[in-house]
Amino acid sequence: MLGYRLLTVRRKREESHPKSLLVTIRLHASIASFSAVFLAGILLGSIAPGFLDANSRQGFNDILQLFLRQRQLQTMAETFFSAISSNAVLWVILLLCGFCAVSAPLIFLVILIKGMGYGLFASALISQYGAGAFVYLACCVLPNLLISGIALLFCCQESSRMSKSIWQMLHTSVRGTAQGDSAGEYAAKMILYGVFLCLGAALEAYLCPASLAGLVLF
């Protein structure tokens, strides 16, 4: 009897293993696809200034200088709210995308735009300030990029999974394949990732004054 039970348990594990493996592959494929789009956005943003004419490039440099000067005069709290504001907008968009059955293109667009913003900012900063820009990028931008960037990637994943789940519920022929969380679980995960976005902004606010000292702004 004991041998029969052990054999039954083993068979159940073997039957469930392909399913769990498939779910794991899909999960990692989702993160990989969003990461690829994010990196593509950074690449596109970094080469975008090369396609601007002289007047447009000068105007963009003036905006960059104004931003850095304002950042230099900001308090730590003001820097925090400035750093978190753009991510908060994207977080809200991704949160709402999860409740839409056809939001996949918008989710990819959000992470693409975020990557382009980082690439464009880094490229313009390096072209204008040279080696001094690397200190600012490494000490101020990169830590927030790693924390908030990864958090946004997971936000994209959860939003995409929730969106697919809603789409599957609306189509009875594929209802049994839904893998998404409940609305409560989805909201809890998004709030958790939102906390990491706040941590990234707080780290940038803390490191910003020291890293700005390496730039000659005037």
Q: Is residue 8 part of a domain?
A: no
pLDDT digits (tens, 9 = 90+) for 102-117: 899 999 999 999 999 9
Report pLDDT for 93.
96
Is 217 domain-assigned?
Answer: no
pLDDT single digits (tens) 27-39: 568 899 999 999 9
- Does residue 72 or residue 11 have the better pLDDT? 72
Cα separation, 47 vs 156, in Å, equals 25
Question: 5 in a domain, yes or no?
Answer: no
- At residue 179, the pLDDT reads 55
Instruction: Say if 4 falls within a structural domain.
Output: no
As for how many domains the chain has, the answer is: 1
CA distance 185 to 192: 11
**Residue 115 belongs to a domain:** yes
Q: What's the confidence (pLDDT) of residue 89?
A: 94
Decide: residue 162, CB within 10 A, 0-12 exposed, 13-18 middle, 19+ buried. Answer: buried
At 194, the pLDDT band (50, 70, 90 cuts) reads very high
Average pLDDT over residues 185-198: 94
- How confident is the model at residue 26, as a pLDDT? 62
Domain assignment present for 181: yes
Question: DSSP states of 85-142 as a string?
Answer: HHHHHHHHHHHHHTT-TT-HHHHHHHHHHHHHHHHHHHHHHHHHHTTHHHHHIIIIIH
Amino acid 2: pLDDT:
39
Confidence band for 140, pLDDT divided at 50, 70 and 90: confident
Tell me how far apart the alpha carbons of residues 199 and 111 are, in angstroms, rounded to a whole number: 19
Domain ranges, residue 41: 17-212
pLDDT tens, position by position, 39-67: 999 999 999 887 777 787 788 788 888 88
Minimum mean pLDDT among 3-17, 130-144, 149-163: which range? 3-17
Greater confidence (87 vs 179) lies with: 87
pLDDT grade, residue 6 (50/70/90)? Answer: very low
For residue 48, tell me if it sits in a domain: yes
Q: Does residue 11 lie within any of the structural domains?
A: no
Q: Is the pLDDT of residue 152 over 80?
A: yes
The one-character DSSP state at 75 is: -
Q: pLDDT at position 172, please?
A: 64
